[in-house]
Structure formats: C-alpha cells, structure tokens
Amino acid sequence: MTPSIPGRSPLHRCPPGPKILALVAAGTALFALPRLDLALAVLGLTGWLYRLAGIPARLVLAQVRPLAWILAVLVLVQLALDGWQAGLLVAARLVALMLLAGLVTLTTRSSDLIEALQRGLAWLRPLGADPAKVGLAIALTLRFIPVLAAITAEVREAQRARGLERSLVALTVPVIVRMLKMSDDVAAAIDARSYDPDRAGD
C-alpha cells in the first residue's frame, strides 16, 4: 500500500467507491475465470490505466517488488507442476491484481478512501464491527509503512556496522521493540488530538 500521489487525471477525479468496486470486480473475474488471455488483457488494461494516471514507472515497479519473492516461488511451483501456461497465468493475474490495488491507493487520497470504506462497511455495524476503527486502522497502515521501512533500514545499517548483517534476530528484535514503543506514542498522540472511537465516523 502506497500513499496517494497528487494528480488531475480522470482516475484521480473518479470517486473512491467506483474504483473499489471495479477492483473487487476485476479481482473476482481474474480468479473466477482462470483464462490466460483474460489475465493478459487485464494486465494490459492496467498498464494503460497507469499511463492515463501519469504514474512514473518506478512507482509501478514499487507496487510489485515487495511480493516479488512470493510471486517467483508461486510461478516456479506452477511451472514445475502444470507447465508454462499455468505459471504465466498465475504471474499475470497476481501482478494485475497487485497493480490494480496499487492504482486505487495511488490515485485516491487516503481520507477519501477511508470515508468510502466507512460508508461501504456501515452495514456491518449490527454485527458488532466498527467501520470507523477499520478506517483508522487502514489510515495508520498507509501512514506507517514508510516509517517501518525507515526504521528497518536504520537498524539494518546499525547491525551491519557491528558485523551482524546476517542475523535475523539482530534485525527483527530492535525493529519490533521500536515499533512497540512507537505504537504507545502514536496511541497517546491520537488521544491528544481528541479522537473518540464512539464518535468517529459520525
């Protein structure tokens, strides 16, 4: 998930509701209809939409890079078990879906996205779900992914200086401790700015 980038393209101007619905429809079609030609067509269409939105190529790659290893493993397994067409199908539909999801967050202000999700999830209230809390959780996820990346890079650099670049424990323990400490401060900051979970989303 990447924070939005400003723009005036038709995709930026489109309200978030239709974009989320289109994403759900495309995802359902991609997985309900396992056809290579359909997956490649959606992938091509997605590429055109990125061009329409004026999003630079490095940001397109950034959408796929975090899951590249998982994608590679899935494709290799499919290649070994069912042949190249199955491998290509898995790759095409997963990449198309990741890019489409990325396109929604890149072209929608997070506050608009959250408001749309809160409205869309309102029917879950009688079941005990709280759309406002879901909205805040998504906003915090969008906000703190880059912060987590920066903390991880800092800790990795510090451990490299101590010759511990290959130790997973030396990387993960300080990152988790810092994130837990930060989560206390973030909770206090949300309180300090008068957030009321009982009123949010009204």
Partner 1 sequence: MIEIRHVGHAFGERAVLRDLTLDLTERRIAVVGGNGSGKSTFARLLNGLLVPTHGTVRVDGLDTRRDGKAVRRKVGFVFQNPDNQIVLPLVAEDLAFGLKNLGLPKDEIARRTDEALRRYDLLDLADHPAHLLSGGQKQLLALAGVLAMAPEVIVFDEPTTLLDLRNKRRIAQAIDGLSQRAIVVSHDLDFLAHFDRVLVFEDGRIVIDDRPSAALPAYVAMMS
Q: Give whole-number Cα distances, 15 to 45, 88, 94, 108, in Å.
A: 20, 33, 25, 8
- Give the residue, chosen from 22, 64, 74, 186, that forms a contact with partner 1 under the rule CB under 8 A: 186
Amino acid code (one letter) for 27: G
CA distance 71 to 81: 15
Interaction between residue 6 and partner 1 (CB under 8 A) = yes
Site string for partner 1, 121-140 (x = CB under 8 A): ------------------xx
The nearer residue to partner 1, 14 or 139, going by C-beta atoms, is: 139
Binding mask 87-116 for partner 1 (x = CB under 8 A): ----------------------xxx-----
Residue 142 binds partner 1 (CB under 8 A): yes
- Tell whether residue 4 is a contact of partner 1 (CB under 8 A): yes
User: Binding to partner 1 (CB under 8 A): which residues in 13-52?
Assistant: none
Tokens 């700015």, residue?
Answer: 193
Is 93 in contact with 39 (CB distance < 8 Å)? yes
Residue 108 CB, shortest distance to partner 1, in Å, is 11
Q: Does 76 bind partner 1 (CB under 8 A)?
A: no
Rounded to a whole number of angstroms, the CA Rg of the chain reads 20
Q: Judged by CB under 8 A, does residue 175 bind partner 1?
A: no
Residue 176 is a binding residue for partner 1 (CB under 8 A)? no
Read off the DSSP letter of residue 196.
-
Place of tokens 């290509």: 88
What is the spatial distance between Cα 64 and Cα 2, in angstroms, rounded to a whole number? 11
Which of 149, 176, 197 lies closest to 3, judged by CA? 149
Can you give the binding site for partner 1, defined by CB under 8 A?
Answer: 3-6, 109-111, 139-140, 142-143, 146-147, 150, 182, 185-186, 188-196, 199-200, 202
